[in-house]
Amino acid sequence: MRAHARLSAEADGRGGTRLSRLRAESPLLLRQTGATGGTVTVHLVGGAAGPLGGDDLRLDVAVGPGAALCLRTVAASIALPGRRGERSQYTVSVTVAAGGVLHWLPEPTVAAAACHHAALATVDLEQGASLVWRDELICGRHGEQPGDLTVSTRVRYAGRALLHQTLEIGPGADGWSGPGVLGGARATGSLLRVAPHEPPVAPRLLGPTAVWMPLAGPAALITATADTSQRLRDYLDAALPALADT
């Protein structure tokens, strides 16, 4: 299955945000679900199971100057195997203009047994743009080992690299569950916050397997591993409690 969805948000001139483009193709169905304090919330609703091996899914998001968008999903995404072991791919491309704000807060991606999936994201931020970007990965459903899954995120700020991280798990990634990577954890994730108008954060431990670190730019990154998805979410939300109900 191939699908390409597009979402654009613009300032409405009255202190709020309007959606100037909302184009969806199943299984990438977009629904505006609220507007609070100038921020528009959109939920991504899965119109079919998956991603399934062989799927090629793409989502383009653009946030204009002065606009504020929060994008969520209604449920976890489960990467499933195809009949012939085909690779599935989900590509997200984001641009945020100066003065724009994006909160990307999807539910976790679950790497089901025998899947072969890649989740690729590129984010381009103009100087003065703000971002909260959360990624969560669960290694297999209950009682199963995960298939092969790659998560790659590239973020640029004012034309310069801010963050590039890639994680590979599954039988095709040597050592992924060892002490140098996940250390046997079943859940892992990160939360990137780009806040150009706030003072830099100080490094600190959030728990035995979670850390909050400043980046070389107006940003900080939380990375964590956990034995359950709930504990992982607790780590990420505890560092930025104001975002938990966004």
Question: Strand, helix or coil at 84?
Answer: coil
- Pick left, alpha or beta for residue 135 (phi over 0 → left; psi -120 to 50 → alpha; otherwise beta): beta
As a whole number, mean pLDDT of residues 174-189 equals 94
Q: Which residue has the tokens 């929060």?
A: 70
Counting Cβ atoms within 10 Å, is residue 158 exposed (0-12), middle (13-18) or buried (19+)? middle
Cα separation of 80 and 99, whole Å?
38
Residues in the chain: 246
Residue 201's pLDDT is 86
Q: Is 41 left (phi over 0), alpha (psi -120 to 50) or beta?
A: beta
User: Residue 239's pLDDT is what?
Assistant: 60
Q: What is the DSSP string of 201-218?
A: PPPEEEETTEEEEE-SSS
Q: Among candidates 243, 122, 144, which has minimal Cα distance to 191?
A: 243
Query: Peptide bond preceding 27: is omega within 30 degrees of 0, i.e. cis?
Result: yes
- Give the span between the Cα atoms of 215 and 192, in whole angstroms: 9
Q: What's the whole-number mean pLDDT along residues 12-23?
A: 96
Which pTM does this prediction carry?
0.95
pLDDT band (50, 70, 90) for residue 240: low
Q: Is the peptide bond before 196 cis (omega within 30 degrees of 0)?
A: no
Tokens of 9: 């948000």
Q: What is the pLDDT of residues 73-85, one digit of tens each?
A: 999 999 999 988 8
Ranges 21-30, 42-51, 122-131, 211-220: which has the least confidence = 42-51
- pLDDT reading at 11 higher than 80: yes
